[in-house]
Chain A
Amino acid sequence: MRLRSGVFASSCLLVEALGVALFLRGFFPVPVRSLPRREARGDPPAEPAPPGPGMVSNWTKIPPPLFKKVVIVLIDALRDDFVFGSKGKQFMPYTTQVVEKGTSYSFIAEAKPPTVTMPRIKALMTGSIPGFIDVIVNLNSPALLDDNLIWQAKTAGKRIIFYGDDTWVKLFPKHFVEYDGTTSFFVSDFTEVDGNVTRHLDRVLKREDWDLLILHYLGLDHIGHMTGPNSPLVGPKLREMDNILKKIHISLLSKEEASLPNLLVVCGDHGMSETGSHGGSSEGEVHTPLLFISSAFEKRSDPGYEHFKIAEKSHGNWIKLYLEGNNSEILLNLGKKVLKQYLEALKTLSSSLSKQVAQYDMYSMMVGTVIIMEVLLLLLLSVPKALSSRAEFEVPLSPPLFSLLFYLMCLMLCAVHVIVCTSAESLCYFCSMSWLTAVGVMMLISALMCGILSAIAKILENSRLPLKYPVVSNSSLSEVDVLILAGTIGHVLSLGASSFIEEEHQTWYFLINTLCLTLCQELCRNNFLLKECDPQHSTTVKQNFDSIGEASECKNIDIPAAGNSKLGKATSSAEFIKGSDKWISLASPWIILICCRLLRSLNQTGVQWAHRPDFGHWLTSSEHKSELSFLAAVSLFMIFFLVRRRCSLVSKIAMALGLLGVYSYRAAIGNVIFPWQRDSKDISKGITEARFVYVFVLGIVFTGTKDLLKSQVISADSSAKTTGLWEVYSGLVLLAALLFRPHNLPVLVFCLLIQTMMTKYIWRPLKFDAAQITIMHYWFGQAFFYFQGNSNGIATVDVSAGFVGLESYVEIPAIFLTAFATYAGPLLWAIHLLCYLSSEVSRNSAAVGHGCFCYALMRSIPVAIYIVLVTGLRYHLFIWSVFSPKLLYEGVHVFITATICLFFTAMDQNHSHKVQD
């Protein structure tokens, strides 16, 4: 069977996506933990998960209550310094007074990342550390089935009332006797969301028919998301919270009886970072206050604490006596022994701790890794064939030798599977899959193995043939090639260090800067040197290539595409662009460098320098609204100007209206203002405006698709295809303009600008081959991922993009929109690559196939290496804070790349049909 390299690459990527999914499933072992519960779910589900039989027998009698009534006030995103710091003194006088007077215990609680509301509520209620996979399911919280406080309280017959974030209601659907959930996803609402909670308070505090009252206030979190922790809105909100706490505390004190005191618990589920978001592990995000306020704490002090003090003191005395009394060698030996025992105890403790915290499903991980590595090997082995001028190769489906090997391998793997699954004491995901699926995966692994072996055999066979033909390999790599190779390898190696992952944006910025400088050098050489270079040189080069071409035609060898481009480069130098174009072309790398420098200071990301001031924060602060409005308007105009040239009239108009819609959407939700608008209008959700834009996005994409289909039917029309692709691209640009925060619109402008300049002045004149172009696109895509303000931490994902134009949370569109907004940079560059390559088809008919293959390869290399690295570093200190978020990003990127490659292949398909016609 013959396969084109595009098809081959996308099928490889699909298989790889399967491997990544399997690996992720093994790495984030949530299903393993809750598997026993899931079995228990078969029982009548009216109540939350029934406890194991052991638990019931332990608790024959419910212990007597210590407190009569308990009120838990959870303030979302309450940072420790909001209560204990200067803000607390200023805005929360009552709470500060209670803390200082000593009728309370106050702590700084440390929230384990991911510091996102739902995992944090789970953690608070179950006492377990949240898994990273919880972030993904944060948006649709399923009922909590593990043992938890609420369930225990309910079974003990306590009546629980809840007001606040409806995540609780989803987690505990049948536990509350009375509840009123408020939805938390409209971040621009600061007052109503808390008013909905407080309005019940007076009534409930008078009543006597409850034991546990839970209040979850969201306003502070919303303020943080929109304006950050230092905004002037935070103070009044804290004062409001202080008044509420005062009201509750006074009411609880007034109702107190002598025998049983009441308890007020004040806590935050997570803090907020300096930018106001949360999810990561920075100082401000993990430290939250935890206050226990009750009159009970005045009367007795904690016996455990006293015991600890006594023990500490006696320990000290014992050591002192020992040192004074004895000074011989026995003491020294004993000291060493004690030290050793301490160290050993510590070691065992830490290892048992890390094992407890980090449970991995090694078997699934190994299967996933094997699949990914096999795909990578297969891709690497087929590089020479896939990048040949025909971009096609033979895939042997049933050579007799390999069929035997294939069956043997299948059998062996199945045997291993049976042994592993029957012997493993912990449950594993891969074993819990159905037998048919498991066997299918085994067959896939063996088939890939056979493919690799046959590829290796073919290469050996070829190398054994005597070299009759002239050596085609272009002996000297150009500087760009060297840089591309070194950069790819260097980036992959840098993934082993946690700092380099945290600061990955620096790597990409560094690489694209160097790339621009190298391109500048290449341009200089083309402009200055080759012109004065003697003409006979280029003719000799041409002759050389011609002879090679002839030779290879006779012997049926593939000339590398590089050969063609080199030839083109040599011949083109004579008629290289002249006049003013030459100077623009020479200046273009510098303009691109300046653009990149500006973008770099737009969003500071990463960890070490994230706190540095940047334009993004300056623009989003409320004093600079008019500047932001101006910038947004100019950016939108520039986007229109840059996209307009290659669109048809209809989509041009649609684009203009859509961009106007984007501005009015931002004005409606209060990010920007119209020049004629003096007073601040009320803020709405901007549903109408956003849907207005969606209509145009769909319209433009639809027009583009129509053109593409037309170009497939009418074979002669190749310009229709280019226009169609460009229209799809501009539709996506419009969508990105809608979803990007207004201060990020310049990113989009510079993206378009750089693409235009690169195409016109660098790629076209220098005639790079498809592989080089693809890798440059990939690099720029990665850099733009970080220019947008993304990082390798969960905190920078802009969840609000998922709610643009939606009345309430709808799962599929929200996930799609968030993913699109996050990966807009790489995605737009990839689609631009497709546009560029398909316009280059006349020069190199296999360009799209080559591009697709290279893109798949560029994605597979870092993923495969990173997965191996993560497996090796799975007990590393930073595994949860640095390595696993990056793993999630890489995984999602693989899925997105697989989709892109499928699109590439579909476009390539069209082309090949056309050729056959």
Chain B
Amino acid sequence: MKEAEIRRLLAANLLCVFSIILTAVVPAFFWDGFTVLGTHLAWLCICSVCVSALNIILHLVLKTNLSPKRSSFAHKISRFLKCCIYFFMSCILFHAIIVLYGAPLIESVTETFLFAVLLSTFTTLQCLCMLGPNIQAWIRVFSKNGAMSIWESSLQITTMCSILGAWFGAFPIPLDWDRPWQVWPISCSLGATFGYMAGLVIAPLWIYWNRKQLTYKSR
């Protein structure tokens, strides 16, 4: 049972990694002059959209949610709207944090906001898919030993890795190398993407490695 689930997790995660790689490669066939660095904002949009679409589809297919309660259509709609609002709020929050970290307030608002959207896609969207708009559950998952399934462990790991990636991505900005990837927010968004991809790969491996120690108690 557990092994099979881990395999499913690995497959889903690898699909995500693959889709991110595709977003960097495929648009170049349709659009002359598309590069990740040159037309970075376009790539940010494409990547966010693809990753969120894939995540939602995977979530619907795999049914990772632990409590598959039957609920009315109206309830589902309100839930969906709530999710949208939460996602938007998380974008704003990330934007605010990035500005507090020193991003310019007025100049390059678009860049900063798209970066915030990318970060939200990597972190908040997954949480919303898996846990729904339920703050208590979020707090539970992101506290020590709070995960209740391998999907939640994977969520923890990928979220941490994306944020750490974005954090490390800020390091090369002060260097005076004048490289195209040092322009705001390329290094950070690339850092977040690589962190996310690394998290996706690491999560199944780490769970597999520690499968003996991981005992998920259900409520």
Chain A nearest Cβ from B217, distance in angstroms: 14
Choose, from A399-407, A510-518, A867-875, the stretch at the interface.
Answer: A510-518
Chain B 134-163: CB-based contact to A (< 8 A → 1; otherwise 0): 000001000100000000000000000000
Among the listed B143, B170, B175, B176, which residue makes an inter-chain contact with A510, where contact means beta carbons less than 8 Å apart? B170
Choose, from B17-25, B68-76, B80-88, B97-105, the stretch at the interface.
Answer: B97-105
Whether A255 sits at the interface, judged by CB under 8 Å, is no
Cα–Cα distance between A608 and B173 once the two chains are bound (Å): 11
Q: Within A545-603, which residues are at the interface with B (CB < 8 Å)?
A: 593-594, 596-597, 600-601
Cα–Cα distance between A528 and B141 once the two chains are bound (Å): 13
| Interface of chain A: mostly helix, strand, loop or mixed | helix
Is the CB–CB distance between A529 and B174 below 8 Å?
Answer: no
Chain B 13-50: CB-based contact to A (< 8 A → 1; otherwise 0): 00000000000000000000000000000000000000
Is the CB–CB distance between B143 and A499 below 8 Å?
Answer: no
Cα–Cα distance between A497 and B101 once the two chains are bound (Å): 22
Whether B167 sits at the interface, judged by CB under 8 Å, is yes
Top 8 nearest A-B pairs (CB, nearest first) are A503-B174, A593-B100, A499-B175, A499-B176, A597-B100, A506-B174, A513-B101, A529-B143
Among the listed A510, A594, A608, which residue makes an inter-chain contact with B101, where contact means beta carbons less than 8 Å apart? A510
Is the CB–CB distance between A509 and B102 below 8 Å?
Answer: yes
Cα–Cα distance between A593 and B102 once the two chains are bound (Å): 10
Whether A500 sits at the interface, judged by CB under 8 Å, is yes
Chain A 484-514: CB-based contact to B (< 8 A → 1; otherwise 0): 0000000000000101101100110110011
The residue in chain B whose Cβ has the minimal distance to the Cβ of A609 is B174
Query: Which residues on the A side are within 8 Å of B139 (C-beta)?
Result: 524, 528-529
Is the CB–CB distance between A500 and B175 below 8 Å?
Answer: yes
Query: Which residues on the B side are within 8 Å of A503 (C-beta)?
Result: 174
Q: Within B161-197, which residues are at the interface with A (CB < 8 Å)?
A: 167, 170, 173-176
Chain B nearest Cβ from A527, distance in angstroms: 10
Whether A347 sits at the interface, judged by CB under 8 Å, is no
Whether A525 sits at the interface, judged by CB under 8 Å, is yes
Cα–Cα distance between A506 and B103 once the two chains are bound (Å): 11
The residue in chain A whose Cβ has the minimal distance to the Cβ of B175 is A499
Query: Which residues on the A side are within 8 Å of B97 (C-beta)?
Result: 517
Chain B nearest Cβ from A533, distance in angstroms: 9
Is the CB–CB distance between B100 and A513 below 8 Å?
Answer: yes
Cα–Cα distance between A606 and B101 once the two chains are bound (Å): 17
**A-B CB contact pairs (8 Å), 12 listed:** A499-B174, A500-B175, A503-B174, A506-B102, A510-B170, A513-B102, A517-B97, A593-B100, A597-B100, A597-B102, A606-B174, A608-B174
Query: Which residues on the A side are within 8 Å of B102 (C-beta)?
Result: 506, 509-510, 513, 597, 600
Cα–Cα distance between A254 and B175 once the two chains are bound (Å): 57
Chain B nearest Cβ from A381, distance in angstroms: 31
Among the listed A500, A596, A601, which residue makes an inter-chain contact with B174, where contact means beta carbons less than 8 Å apart? A500
Chain B nearest Cβ from A196, distance in angstroms: 44
The residue in chain B whose Cβ has the minimal distance to the Cβ of A514 is B167
Query: Which residues on the B side are within 8 Å of A506 (C-beta)?
Result: 102, 173-174
Cα–Cα distance between A513 and B173 once the two chains are bound (Å): 16
The residue in chain B whose Cβ has the minimal distance to the Cβ of A513 is B101
Cα–Cα distance between A508 and B101 once the two chains are bound (Å): 11
Please list the residues of chain A having a beta carbon within 8 angstroms of any beta carbon in chain B. 497, 499-500, 502-503, 506-507, 509-510, 513-514, 517, 524-525, 528-529, 593-594, 596-597, 600-601, 606, 608
Cα–Cα distance between A497 and B173 once the two chains are bound (Å): 13
Cα–Cα distance between A525 and B140 once the two chains are bound (Å): 10
Cα–Cα distance between A596 and B100 once the two chains are bound (Å): 8
Chain B nearest Cβ from A575, distance in angstroms: 21
Query: Which residues on the A side are within 8 Å of B105 (C-beta)?
Result: 601
Cα–Cα distance between A217 and B174 once the two chains are bound (Å): 39
Please, how many residues of chain B have a CB less than 8 angstroms from a CB on the other chain? 14
Query: Which residues on the B side are within 8 Å of A525 (C-beta)?
Result: 143
Please name 8 further chain A to chain B contacts, defined as beta carbons within 8 Å, in addition to the given A499-B176, A502-B176, A513-B101, sorted by A numbering.
A497-B175, A506-B102, A509-B101, A509-B102, A517-B97, A525-B143, A529-B139, A600-B102
Chain B 118-129: CB-based contact to A (< 8 A → 1; otherwise 0): 000000000000
Cα–Cα distance between A502 and B105 once the two chains are bound (Å): 23
Cα–Cα distance between A497 and B100 once the two chains are bound (Å): 25
Cα–Cα distance between A510 and B143 once the two chains are bound (Å): 24
Cα–Cα distance between A829 and B103 once the two chains are bound (Å): 26
Chain A nearest Cβ from B31, distance in angstroms: 33
Cα–Cα distance between A597 and B103 once the two chains are bound (Å): 10
Cα–Cα distance between A513 and B174 once the two chains are bound (Å): 17
Chain A nearest Cβ from B209, distance in angstroms: 19
Cα–Cα distance between A507 and B102 once the two chains are bound (Å): 11
Chain B nearest Cβ from A915, distance in angstroms: 39
Is the CB–CB distance between A608 and B176 below 8 Å?
Answer: yes
The residue in chain B whose Cβ has the minimal distance to the Cβ of A490 is B171
Chain A nearest Cβ from B92, distance in angstroms: 14
Chain B 93-111: CB-based contact to A (< 8 A → 1; otherwise 0): 0000101111001000000
Chain B nearest Cβ from A612, distance in angstroms: 9
The residue in chain B whose Cβ has the minimal distance to the Cβ of A521 is B142
Cα–Cα distance between A510 and B97 once the two chains are bound (Å): 12
The residue in chain A whose Cβ has the minimal distance to the Cβ of B163 is A517
The residue in chain B whose Cβ has the minimal distance to the Cβ of A607 is B176
The residue in chain B whose Cβ has the minimal distance to the Cβ of A500 is B174
Cα–Cα distance between A499 and B173 once the two chains are bound (Å): 10
Query: Which residues on the B side are within 8 Å of A596 (C-beta)?
Result: 100
Is the CB–CB distance between A597 and B167 below 8 Å?
Answer: no
Query: Which residues on the A side are within 8 Å of B100 (C-beta)?
Result: 513, 593-594, 596-597
Query: Which residues on the B side are within 8 Å of A499 (C-beta)?
Result: 174-176
Chain A nearest Cβ from B142, distance in angstroms: 9
Cα–Cα distance between A525 and B100 once the two chains are bound (Å): 22
Query: Which residues on the A side are within 8 Å of B167 (C-beta)?
Result: 514
Query: Which residues on the B side are within 8 Å of A606 (C-beta)?
Result: 174
Query: Which residues on the B side are within 8 Å of A524 (C-beta)?
Result: 139
Residue from B99, B167, B175 whose CB has the most chain A CB atoms within 10 Å = B175
Query: Which residues on the B side are within 8 Å of A594 (C-beta)?
Result: 100
Cα–Cα distance between A601 and B99 once the two chains are bound (Å): 11
Chain A nearest Cβ from B97, distance in angstroms: 7
Chain A nearest Cβ from B177, distance in angstroms: 8
The residue in chain A whose Cβ has the minimal distance to the Cβ of B105 is A601
Chain A nearest Cβ from B141, distance in angstroms: 12
Query: Which residues on the A side are within 8 Å of B175 (C-beta)?
Result: 497, 499-500
Cα–Cα distance between A528 and B102 once the two chains are bound (Å): 29
Query: Which residues on the B side are within 8 Å of A514 (C-beta)?
Result: 167
Chain A nearest Cβ from B44, distance in angstroms: 22
Query: Which residues on the A side are within 8 Å of B99 (C-beta)?
Result: 597
Cα–Cα distance between A597 and B95 once the two chains are bound (Å): 14
Chain A nearest Cβ from B192, distance in angstroms: 15
Chain A nearest Cβ from B136, distance in angstroms: 9
Query: Which residues on the B side are within 8 Å of A513 (C-beta)?
Result: 100-102
The residue in chain A whose Cβ has the minimal distance to the Cβ of B107 is A612
Query: Which residues on the B side are within 8 Å of A597 (C-beta)?
Result: 99-100, 102
The residue in chain A whose Cβ has the minimal distance to the Cβ of B99 is A597
Query: Which residues on the A side are within 8 Å of B174 (C-beta)?
Result: 499-500, 502-503, 506-507, 606, 608
Query: Which residues on the B side are within 8 Å of A510 (C-beta)?
Result: 101-102, 170
Cα–Cα distance between A594 and B99 once the two chains are bound (Å): 10
Chain B nearest Cβ from A886, distance in angstroms: 15
Cα–Cα distance between A510 and B170 once the two chains are bound (Å): 9
Cα–Cα distance between A592 and B97 once the two chains are bound (Å): 12
The residue in chain A whose Cβ has the minimal distance to the Cβ of B146 is A529
Chain B nearest Cβ from A207, distance in angstroms: 54
Cα–Cα distance between A600 and B170 once the two chains are bound (Å): 17
Query: Which residues on the B side are within 8 Å of A500 (C-beta)?
Result: 174-175
The residue in chain A whose Cβ has the minimal distance to the Cβ of B140 is A529
Cα–Cα distance between A528 and B146 once the two chains are bound (Å): 14
Query: Which residues on the B side are within 8 Å of A507 (C-beta)?
Result: 174
Chain B nearest Cβ from A503, distance in angstroms: 4
Chain B 198-219: CB-based contact to A (< 8 A → 1; otherwise 0): 0000000000000000000000
Query: Which residues on the B side are within 8 Å of A509 (C-beta)?
Result: 101-102
Chain B nearest Cβ from A435, distance in angstroms: 48
Chain B nearest Cβ from A493, distance in angstroms: 11
The residue in chain A whose Cβ has the minimal distance to the Cβ of B104 is A612
Query: Which residues on the B side are within 8 Å of A528 (C-beta)?
Result: 139
